[in-house]
Each structure stands twice: as structure tokens, then as C-alpha cells.
Structure 1
Amino acid sequence: MNPLVRRGADPHITRHTDGHYYCTAAVPVCDRVILRRSRTLNGLATAAGS
């Protein structure tokens, strides 16, 4: 189980040159991909997805 992305398939996390961490993952029903952004890596666990 991924502690930062509890639900979602194929999570990918990267740190951009803007200083933010970005996480993409397919939602549980796998019909869309959500993007989360946070200044800290741990913040991705509670960041709102869009």
C-alpha cells in the first residue's frame, strides 16, 4: 500500500522545477486520472485532487 496514494492505480510522483511535488494516479474505477500538487512530499497524502 502506498502511504501517499491510498486509492488509485499506477501512481507517479515527480518534483517539478517550480518546487512542487506532483502526483498522478488513476482513480479506483480507472476511468480518469487525478493530479495532486503539494509543496512537500508528505503533503500529497492530503492534497486535493483535480
Structure 2
Amino acid sequence: MWTAVPRSSNPFMDGHLIYAVVLVVLALLGAGTILGLGCLWAVTPAVRRNTWLT
């Protein structure tokens, strides 16, 4: 990643922070249930026993 993205002059707002925010937003919106395996994951026996996995 460091070789693909040129260095910026802002030490706070870098690619890692932007990607972290995007991942949190996608998780909160439930993106895995729409375009992913979230529906299949939710019906597995292990997830039904341990609801904290959802």
C-alpha cells in the first residue's frame, strides 16, 4: 500500500484512517447482508448459539 499511494503532506488524514472509517460505515449499514454472505452466516448453528457473532 505504501508504494502504490504517494505520500501526502498531512500526517493525520492518511489512507489508513479513511479506510477504517469506510469499513466502520459499511459494517454499521449492514453491507454484508446485502452484498455478501451475511445472510448465510446468520443462520449457521454457531451464530445462533452465540448472538454476539452477528
Could you state the TM-score of these two structures normalised by the residue count of structure 1?
Answer: 0.20
TM-score scaled to structure 2, two decimals? 0.19
Which structure has the bigger radius of gyration? 2
Which structure has greater strand proportion?
Answer: 1
* Bigger share in helix: 2
